[in-house]
Structure 1
Amino acid sequence: MASPNASSSQFQLLRQRRFLPFYLTQFSGAFNDNLYKNALLLLITFTTVGWAGLPVDLVVNLAAFLFIVPYFLFSGLAGQLADRHEKTRIIRWVKAAEIVIMTLAALALWQGWYGVLLCLLFLMGTQSAFFGPVKYSILPQVLEPSELVGGNGLVSGGTFVAILLGTIAAGVLASFPLATPLIAFAVVIMALLGYLSARKIPVTVAPELPKSMSPMCWQPLRESWRLMAVAAEQRPVLLAILAISWFWFLGAAYLTQFPNFARLHLQGDETVVTLLLSLFIVGIASGSVLCERLTHHSVSLAPVPWGALGLTLPGIDLFFALPASAEPTTWWLLLSQPEYWRLLVDLVLIGAAGGLFIVPLYAYIQRATEAHKRARIIAALNVINSLFMVVSALAGMLLLGIAGLSIPLFLLILSVVNLLVLPLVLWIRRYKGQESTVKHVDK
């Protein structure tokens, strides 16, 4: 592979076969996950009165649980497979499985089999759990070290944009009179497009396994627990994992509270929720792609402390940016009235800080880990991310539901607590600077 020009932009990767098909594959997967999940939640909420005699709120929370629990169950197996086998082949099998799952989902949507749709949501989560370790562990094999931060920025930014577009598409399709057949058609088409792009991903080099590597373990829960031991072998890597997971804790809190925040504190309609979500995610995508310029094409943690500060200071300011007495708002009113601009800018800055925070940490984890352990460490990251998101939901239930705090005060508390992460990332950065050499990128 030719060495890239150090001054070249990360966007040039989108014109190269070694990256573009993979990028389109992961983008379509994130889009389809959120299209299917959110469309199903909307259909359950607005077109049925519960399911099997259960309250709608219970079914909605059950759906969220079914999508996330496969990460706990199957990440261990997924990490093992990705560390032992050629990664492009795994991606193609995973995307082929998505076609089968979405075809069954289309049939279940057509027939109104909501119980089957919930089971398929579990399978979709399983498919995503197997794709996760490959998604980030393949990047060091196809990118040069000087491209690693830029490539991670594109993948992270693209993932969040796909989440946003999938969520919006679900709402748009669910609003049509023929919502069910349209959603059924859309999820199958997206699965097919994802598989076709996966077929274009170049085959990578098969991993060289050390003789000391333990045999394949087929006990999901046991292997998921063993992932923690693998991740803990390098303390800075484990702390980087915890730092990324903390961002997912914060991100889940913001995304979960946007609907009620818009309704209660901005007196807004659905368009206001979409605007807040869009600004937050566009901020994350912008911060993600900005990392390459700030790190000068090297794997550096320099932006991470600034990202940590950016998650705190605009988060604190957001509390004071709320108007004292909000009138009923729409998305256009928020954009056109200067009194709301400070709040909107804070949301963009919080998102951008999140991108600056996580992208260098992802690149550091990839660079600092050995090839035959990298996918399992990414799998451990996925498990801990999921755990932090569950704890985030529990914290929201406790502080908002039981303690009776307002949403702005809840977000303010999280912003202040985030200051505790700053010494952690400074320690990781200092430890990294003391390392003599860290060269585990595959070539």
Structure 2
Amino acid sequence: MSSNATASAASASSDAGRSSSATHPAESGGQFALLRERRFAPFFWTQFLGAANDNLFKFAFTVLVTYQLQVSWLPPALAGLVIGALFILPFLLFSATSGQLADKLDRRWLFIWLKRIEMGIMAIAAWGFFVQNIPVLLACIFLMGLQSTVFGPVKFAYLPQHLSERELTGGNGVVEMGTFVAILLGNVAGGLIIAVPEIGAHHVGFTCVALAVLGRVASHHIPASPAMDPGLVINWNPVTETWRNLRLAYQTPVVFRSVLGISWMWFFGAVFLSLFPAFAKDVLNGDEQVASLLLVVFSIGIAIGSLLCEVLSRRHVEIGLVPLGAIGMSIFSIDLYFATRGLPPASGLGLQAFMAQPAHWRVLLDLALLSLFAGLYSVPMYALIQMRSQPTHRARIIAANNILNALFMIASAVIVGGLLAAGVSIPQLFGLIGLANAVVAFYIFMLVPEYLLRFVAWVASRCVYRFKVRGDEHIPSEGAALLVCNHVSFVDAVLLMAASPRPIRFLMDHRIFRMPLVGGLFRLAKAIPIAPQKDDPEAYEAAFEAAAAVLRRGELLGIFPEGGITRDGTLQPFKGGVMKLLERAEADGVAVTVVPMALTNLWGSFFSRVEVVNGDRVAMVRPFRRGFFSRVGLNVGEPLRAVGVSPEALRERVAKLHGQ
């Protein structure tokens, strides 16, 4: 595995392209504005048509061998399982190789050739439908799985190459929404077309070829996407390469935990998708239309949740939504178990009769909400993997993610089958998966506290305050930076975390760590406690050394240079710690950007010092003295070069941003 100067140039070109995209009109027009732009729209329709074609083909084939043909060696009860297994098998065998190809080759070229291959496979499949040759159709299922295996890493590695950080969540949301809509439409169309008497199979073949041709046309308009590592030497051994890809992901713990989190989401979703037919028939007492309704509700819920991510994240990669999604998934999975208890007795209910029962509405609502929260859970994780993975290795890490997804889905089928055989009912399974989801989510959030911290910051900035950020584009998306802010309250750091797309390490007064709740939060955030030099010289020097190490690693460091929370709401003089940090960074050869910022309208809130008690100003009394959702803000100024910065000049900048 190697990379050379050409790879570096390609990576630089990609980064330059992304930077320029930050000023693109799509940022002000919302996520759907991307559908009007060449850097996204052709890719979206290529992906959409491919997903629709896959599912139309699979579902039509399943219906064909289940209801219309009698195949002695493929019983109807096993048809869906065999078709699904053949489609997913290539993900286990070839994902590692696919990730390498996506990093080594131009992604536009790969898209075009993959769609050409799809046209060929669908032409063979059309012939298989015409003559109703089951072995040929099974072979085409495997080949389409192989084509999708190669397509996956290319798809997810393409987005961060052409979208800025502020567009990544919205872009992933639109792709996720489009994928589930395409799956839904493909299944519905496949079932309707194959049901046409005598000529249904012929029409399925024509439709599959037509969709493949349309996908090829869309792929032609995808813009150039240079290879990230053109000098990469392909390792054709899938076992050793899979292990290598997992180790690449493991090098960045938050990426690896996100891969595990996404794989768990596919485990969770596979439980519901695999049980919908039996759930509709044996629990809800409905017919095939009811089973289709469950799929429609689930798909729409995922699509809505995916689209909501951009709105709730303010166009950043907001992983604080992941705990929110996990909580919703557990709550409504467990409630789905309770919703199925005491359903009115019936049998063979059609769609109209099913909808006429009020008890069934709770079931549908639970299903819609648990899938909506699954969309909130998954989209930020995908965006985080794309943003935090090294560009030269991104596709291989996504390939490792696909392998784990496939393994988790297979494990889901085995475990569900075992539990059903042991006598566990379907509603009980839904309740158990909800409880298991709570345990798994808690474990992941303890391993990677950033998820929990971002969730707390998200809640504080949207549920405690009405938080408005101006100039957040000035917070660097990469590289070392010193964030210099006024100090108004005990939750200043939490609000800065909510405004930044990247994690921030804070240098903070050691006394704040003694507070029961806030102190625990900042310890979880790995904030650096600092004591006055006269009180504890060793701790003082150790704090500055830890802060300097943060900058050496190219991370964000937050500092409140007033040295303490203001007692009267005015900006206090800045101390010299800023200069000490910058001088140490210069001695270490680290280029540091200084970003001035000011919190506004926070003085007088619950967490600031306003009440006089025994002659002193204290905080956190009378929680609603400013009412609910009081307005606060953060103004971020243009970054400054470290050269020539002084505490006085910085204070003047912050004061101007604050409006003093």
Say yes or no: TM over 0.5: yes
User: Is the alpha carbon distance of 1:302 and 1:256 closer, same or farther for their aligned partners in structure 2, counting shifts above 3 Å?
Assistant: same
- Name the aligned partner's letter for residue 433 of structure 2: L
CA distances 1:155-174 after superposition (whole Å, capped 9, x unpaired): 11111111111111111112
- Name whichever of 232-241 and 94-103 sits farther off: 232-241
Q: TM-score, normalised by structure 2?
A: 0.64
Report if aligned partners of 2:105, 2:226 keep a CA contact under 8 Å in 1: no
Cross-structure match for 1:414: 433
- Name the aligned partner's letter for residue 248 of structure 1: W
Task: Please tell me whether residue 38 in structure 1 is matched to residue 59 in structure 2.
Answer: yes
User: Is the alpha carbon distance of 1:361 and 1:297 closer, same or farther for their aligned partners in structure 2, counting shifts above 3 Å?
Assistant: same
Cross-structure match for 1:185: 206
User: Is the alpha carbon distance of 1:287 and 1:108 closer, same or farther for their aligned partners in structure 2, counting shifts above 3 Å?
Assistant: same
Query: Equivalent residue of 2:29, what SS?
Result: coil
CA distances 1:33-59 after superposition (whole Å, capped 9, x unpaired): 1111111111111122225x3433344
Cross-structure match for 1:317: 335
Task: Please tell me whether residue 433 in structure 1 is matched to residue 503 in structure 2.
Answer: yes
Cross-structure match for 2:123: 103
How far the C-alpha of 1:126 sits from its partner, in A, is 0.2
How far the C-alpha of 1:386 sits from its partner, in A, is 0.5
Task: Please tell me whether residue 86 in structure 1 is matched to residue 102 in structure 2.
Answer: no
- Name the aligned partner's letter for residue 416 of structure 1: L
Q: Distance in 2 between matches of 1:104 and 1:438?
A: 53
Task: Please tell me whether residue 116 in structure 1 is matched to residue 136 in structure 2.
Answer: yes
Matches within 5 A, 1:231-380: 231-322=249-340, 323-328=342-347, 329-380=349-400
Task: Please tell me whether residue 136 in structure 1 is matched to residue 134 in structure 2.
Answer: no
Match of 1:149 among 169, 185, 192: 169
How far the C-alpha of 1:278 sits from its partner, in A, is 0.6
Structure with greater Cα Rg? 2
- Name the aligned partner's letter for residue 142 of structure 1: H
How far the C-alpha of 1:315 sits from its partner, in A, is 0.7
Report if aligned partners of 1:50, 1:59 keep a CA contact under 8 Å in 2: no
User: Is the alpha carbon distance of 1:205 and 1:214 closer, same or farther for their aligned partners in structure 2, counting shifts above 3 Å?
Assistant: closer
How far the C-alpha of 1:120 sits from its partner, in A, is 1.1
Match of 1:63 among 72, 83, 94: 83
User: Is the alpha carbon distance of 1:60 and 1:407 closer, same or farther for their aligned partners in structure 2, counting shifts above 3 Å?
Assistant: same
How far the C-alpha of 1:62 sits from its partner, in A, is 2.4
Report if aligned partners of 1:239, 1:424 keep a CA contact under 8 Å in 2: no
Q: TM-score, normalised by structure 1?
A: 0.94
Q: Distance in 2 between matches of 1:320 and 1:307?
A: 20
Q: Distance in 2 between matches of 1:77 and 1:27?
A: 24
CA distances 1:155-207 after superposition (whole Å, capped 9, x unpaired): 11111111111111111112111111010111000110111100011112332
Q: Distance in 1 between matches of 2:398 and 2:79?
A: 31
Query: Equivalent residue of 1:366, what SS?
Result: helix
Give the root-mean-square deviation of aligned CA atoms: 1.8
Match of 2:45 among 13, 24, 45: 24
Q: Distance in 2 between matches of 1:326 and 1:8?
A: 50
Query: Equivalent residue of 1:138, what SS?
Result: helix
Query: Equivalent residue of 1:201, what SS?
Result: coil
CA distances 1:183-232 after superposition (whole Å, capped 9, x unpaired): 011100011011110001111233256xxx76211223432333222222
Q: Distance in 2 between matches of 1:120 and 1:39?
A: 13
- Name the aligned partner's letter for residue 390 of structure 1: I
Q: Distance in 2 between matches of 1:79 and 1:67?
A: 18
Q: Distance in 2 between matches of 1:389 and 1:137?
A: 22
How far the C-alpha of 1:365 sits from its partner, in A, is 0.4
Report if aligned partners of 1:258, 1:273 keep a CA contact under 8 Å in 2: yes
How far the C-alpha of 1:319 sits from its partner, in A, is 1.0
Match of 1:77 among 71, 93, 97: 97
Query: Equivalent residue of 2:317, what SS?
Result: coil
Task: Please tell me whether residue 385 in structure 1 is matched to residue 455 in structure 2.
Answer: no
Unaligned runs of 5+ in 1: none
- Name the aligned partner's letter for residue 362 of structure 1: Y
User: Is the alpha carbon distance of 1:341 and 1:28 closer, same or farther for their aligned partners in structure 2, counting shifts above 3 Å?
Assistant: same
Report if aligned partners of 1:304, 1:425 keep a CA contact under 8 Å in 2: no
- Name whichever of 378-387 and 323-332 sits farther off: 323-332
User: Is the alpha carbon distance of 1:13 and 1:326 closer, same or farther for their aligned partners in structure 2, counting shifts above 3 Å?
Assistant: farther
How far the C-alpha of 1:84 sits from its partner, in A, is 1.1
* Aligned residue pairs, count: 434
Task: Indicate the percent of aligned positions where both proteins have the same amino acid.
Answer: 41
- Name whichever of 268-277 and 426-435 sits farther off: 426-435
Q: Distance in 2 between matches of 1:214 and 1:100?
A: 29
How far the C-alpha of 1:438 sits from its partner, in A, is 7.1
How far the C-alpha of 1:234 sits from its partner, in A, is 1.4
How far the C-alpha of 1:330 sits from its partner, in A, is 2.5
Cross-structure match for 1:11: 32
Report if aligned partners of 1:265, 1:326 keep a CA contact under 8 Å in 2: no
How far the C-alpha of 1:61 sits from its partner, in A, is 2.5
How far the C-alpha of 1:79 sits from its partner, in A, is 0.3
Q: Distance in 2 between matches of 1:310 and 1:412?
A: 13
Report if aligned partners of 1:248, 1:389 keep a CA contact under 8 Å in 2: yes
User: Is the alpha carbon distance of 1:429 and 1:284 closer, same or farther for their aligned partners in structure 2, counting shifts above 3 Å?
Assistant: farther
Matches within 5 A, 1:221-232: 221-232=239-250
Q: Distance in 1 between matches of 2:39 and 2:122?
A: 27
- Name the aligned partner's letter for residue 360 of structure 1: P
CA distances 1:332-383 after superposition (whole Å, capped 9, x unpaired): 3343432221111111101100000000000000000111100001101110
- Name the aligned partner's letter for residue 251 of structure 1: G
Q: Distance in 1 between matches of 2:282 and 2:377?
A: 30
How far the C-alpha of 1:277 sits from its partner, in A, is 0.7
Q: Distance in 2 between matches of 1:366 and 1:61?
A: 32
- Name whichever of 125-134 and 318-327 sits farther off: 318-327
How far the C-alpha of 1:245 sits from its partner, in A, is 0.6
Match of 1:217 among 235, 238, 241: 235
